[in-house]
Structure 1
Amino acid sequence: MSDDQIMDEAQKTFATEKGKPFALVYWWKTLKNEPKWCAHLEQMEKEKNKEDSSSDVIDVQNTQRPIGRDAAKAERSGKRKTQEVLDGVVLLGEKVDIVVKAHAESKQERQKAIEVQQRVSSEQLETARLKQIAARDKKQTKLLDVYNSLLSQDTSRMTEQEKANREKAMEKFLKMLGNDD
């Protein structure tokens, strides 16, 4: 076929596919032999050849085949390979080790928290005991001050009743101070 025959056939095909005639015939004839368009056509030919050649080849080596009928039955019935079982046991052992380690660390942290809590509690108890002693000493000091003021009172101007009341109060203060004389 000549170029003119090919061009006529292409125009007919274009008209039937698009529903209108090819309107850029002049420009096609002017530019078809330009180096830019020749390179573009060569590139399109290469891409077309790549698509055609790549669609025919199937890479079988990288495709993983599905498990067969007998292998599926053996797996369901528990007849596994010993290596798979050993791998599972090793993996399970590693997981158990991780759990045991985490449990030990958790137990150690709880023990530390208990020790800190006990130390804080004993410090609070000691503080409360010291406050109680200080309050008792303060009370004793006040009682002693009142007793000393009663002791240093001038009794020359007191009536017998006032003197008797003073003596009773002093005896009570002595008992409260812990001196049973």
Structure 2
Amino acid sequence: MSDDQLMDKTLKMYEARHGKPFTLVHWWRTLKNQPKWCAYVAQLAEKEKNKSMPIDIADDSGGECLIGRDAAKAQHNGKSKAEEVMDCIVLLGENVNKKVAVQQECKQEREKVTKAQLEITRLQLKTAKEHKEAWVLEVYNSLLRQDTSQMTKDMKANREKILAKMEHKLLGGDEEE
């Protein structure tokens, strides 16, 4: 049967069913080959195909039956629970081991940083002491070069005491600190 003959037959069926002729023939010819419409028709055909498939209940091949509700509950609460618990324990153990390893690494890094900071502080203290000694030596030298001709006896005595203390500090050691 050709497309024109099929169309004529369909139009007669429509008129017989609805009592009036199909008036949208122009639009049908315009849209019938559009991809959207073809996909819709294919989807309808697939639904019809699935509806018409008969299910043969008598053709049961005697395969394994599904387990019952009570058996499924027993299986779920018994063996599978134990396996799940064991899996969780293994995962927990692995996580704990990873966490301990990370904490050990962090502890080692903190110790390295602490040692480095301690060394830096020790070097800064040494530098500060050297600067202090240099400053004291500079003050001592300036006191030694100071002109004493204009000083009174009390001023000279104070100067001598200060010089003696500085000499003791510079030459005699750091017992006072």
The two structures share one fold, judged by TM-score above 0.5:
yes
SS of residue paired to 1:57 = coil
Q: Tell me, which stretches of 5 or more residues in structure 1 are unaligned?
A: 1-9, 24-46
Written as runs of structure 1 = structure 2, the 5 A alignment for 1:19-34 is: 19-20=19-20
Of 145, 148, 164, which residue of structure 1 is paired with 2:141? Answer: 148
Identify if the C-alpha distance between structure 1 residues 21 and 129 changes in structure 2 by more than 3 Å, giving closer, same or farther: closer
Q: Match of 1:85?
A: 78
Match status 1:120 vs 2:117: no
TM-score after normalising by structure 1? 0.56
Identity %: 27
Alignment partners' CA distance in 2, 1:157 and 1:53: 128
- CA distance in structure 2 between the partners assigned to 1:126 and 1:15 by the alignment: 103
Report the CA distance shift for 1:125/1:52 in structure 2 as closer, same or farther (over 3 A). Answer: closer
Q: CA deviation at 1:144?
A: 1.4
Structure 2 vs 1, CA of residues 124 and 22 (structure 1 numbering), >3 Å: closer, same or farther? closer
Which aligned pairs between 1:23-172 and structure 2 lie closer than 5 A?
51=49, 54-58=52-56, 71-73=68-70, 80-81=74-75, 85-155=78-148, 158-172=151-165
Q: Which amino acid in the other structure matches residue 130 of structure 1?
A: L
Tell me the alpha carbon deviations over residues 94-139 of structure 1, each in whole angstroms, 9 at most, x when there is no partner. 2321221111111110111111012101211221121011101110
Distance 1:161 1:84, change over 3 A: closer
Question: C-alpha distance in 2, partners of 1:121/1:115?
Answer: 10
Structure 1 or 2, whichever has the larger Rg, is 1
- Please list the CA deviations of residues 51-88 of structure 1 after superposition, one character each: whole Å capped at 9, or x if unmatched: 49943235786xxxx978xx334556xxx25x983344
Cα deviation, 1:2-32, whole Å, max 9, x if unaligned, reads: xxxxxxxx95x64442122589xxxxxxxxx
Please give the root-mean-square deviation of Cα atoms over the aligned residues, in Å.
Answer: 4.0
TM-score (norm 2): 0.57
Post-superposition CA distance 1:122-174 (Å, at most 9, x none): 21122112101110111011111221332344545644233212102213323
In structure 2, the gaps of 5 or more residues are: 1-10, 24-44
How far apart, CA to CA, are the structure 2 residues paired with 1:90 and 1:103? 20
Q: How many residues align?
A: 137
Which residue is equivalent to 2:36? none
